[in-house]
Amino acid sequence: MTAPAASDRRRLRLIMAALVAAVLLSSLDAMIFNTALPTIVGQLHGIARMSWVPTAYLLTTALTMPVYGKIGDLALMDGGGGAGPSEDVLLRKR
């Protein structure tokens, strides 16, 4: 087998850094949510409604992720294509 090229190693490092950042942010988000949960439940006046708090949080997160992902894809594609210096760049972005 041949050794991976320098660009492949750079790409792998970038992917790993993105994955580490995603896990870090997800853990931070869960830690903040779990810390705030007693206060939220206290504001709702009862432990009987406690199960609805994580359910609403996860449902909202699951519904907004695809929407924001699609918006990001469109912004990158349209913005990159429209700001291209030539017609070739525009066609490649589309």
- If asked whether residues 73 and 93 sit together in one domain, one would say yes
Range of the domain at 41: 1-46
The label of the residue with tokens 């429209």 reads 82
* Residue 48 structure tokens: 């009987």
* Distant-in-sequence, close-in-space partners of 49: CB < 8 Å, separation ≥ 6: 41
- If asked whether residues 63 and 83 sit together in one domain, one would say yes
Give the residue, 21 or 76, on which the prediction is more confident: 21
Exposure class string for 37-65: b at 16+ Cβ within 10 A, else e: eeeebeeeeeeeeeeebeeeeeeeeeeee
pTM for this model (two decimals): 0.54
- If asked whether residues 36 and 55 sit together in one domain, one would say no
Is 62:74 a contact under the CB 8 Å cutoff?
A: no
- If asked whether residues 27 and 41 sit together in one domain, one would say yes
- If asked whether residues 40 and 62 sit together in one domain, one would say no
Q: How many structural domains comprise the chain? A: 2
User: pLDDT tens for residues 5-59?
Assistant: 778 889 899 999 999 998 999 889 889 988 988 888 888 887 887 888 888 888 8
Q: How far apart are CA 50 and CA 44, in angstroms?
A: 8
- If asked whether residues 41 and 69 sit together in one domain, one would say no
